[in-house]
Amino acid sequence: MTKIALLTCDQFPDLIPADQKLISLLNNRKIKADAVIWNDPKVIWNDFDALLFRSTWDYFLMDELFTLWLDKIEAMGIPTYNSVSIIKKNKHKFYLSEMAKAGICVIPSVFIPKTQYLDLSQLLPVSWHKAVIKPAVSAGSYLTKMFDVKNMISISDEYQDIAAEKDLILQKFIPEIQTDGEISLIFFNKKFSHAVIKTPKEGDFRIQSQFGGIYSPYDPSIQTLNIAQNIVHFMGEDLLYARVDGILIDDEFHLMELELIEPDLYLDFAAEAQTKFVDEIIHALYLK
């Protein structure tokens, strides 16, 4: 029987509730599936035929260790979904620069390699009034702050030590996120599955549920869906799953992030989403 690990972290040793159903659905299809903490030293990785990234939501806190672990898995030749090469590339948000240069509509961003002297006054476009700053390797609003450009000196000081250790990304603050929310479009094997819209609580800009964000099913327009589909196809490699996060500005979809590592796929927001995902997992396993 094929055996796969659904990778998670210490905080969610049994996976998040929306993913837990995957285990029984896979078992019913003769695929032995277990929730496995990615950095558990007791795990014998060769026991598994494949690894599926799910809630490895602490990787950015130990990026060097995570990269070494990825190297180890790659050297062992164990198939992963998504692939190690995709994971390595996607975990650093400078991939957005490459996508913007290729003509993909990315929200205005400034990419800052780590530096001993952070001076935002030399980096912020004059047309920006507010911006969001965060590490290039981050998730869940980790070390993320929205600020008014008139406070750029104090923000430069606040982030100086972080900038000395980490690459940073600045993104223009888009006020529509507070009123219209952020759209997430979910794809399995590059085929659209479902979408949700996430709106922050009043007075906040963070859309994550732990900060009070509210999620709802969403029906994207054909135009938005086509843009998201093109973004997914921009990636040359196979993708078992992808989440395209963006915002509508004047009715045009702008990419905020392309989530290919461990995104919440909002499997409980669409009928039969778990079953659909399992079908695509099995399809990918048989094609490996």
Residue 139, domain CATH = 3.30.1490
Q: Are residues 57 and 151 in the same domain?
A: no
Q: What is the pLDDT of residue 286?
A: 81
What are the b/e assignments for 236-257, b being 16+ CB within 10 Å?
eeebbbbbbbbbbeeeebbbbb
Range of the domain at 126: 109-172
Residues contacting residue 150 through CB under 8 Å, at least 6 positions apart: none
The span from the CA of 118 to the CA of 167, in Å, is 11
Q: What is the pLDDT of residue 202?
A: 61
Q: What is the pLDDT of residue 201?
A: 57
Residue 122 within any structural domain of the chain:
yes
The span from the CA of 232 to the CA of 242, in Å, is 7
Residues of the chain with pLDDT under 50: none
Q: Are residues 81 and 20 in the same domain?
A: yes
Q: Are residues 100 and 226 in the same domain?
A: yes
From residue 34, give the alpha-carbon distance in Å to each of 4, 177, 250, 259, 264: 7, 37, 45, 23, 18
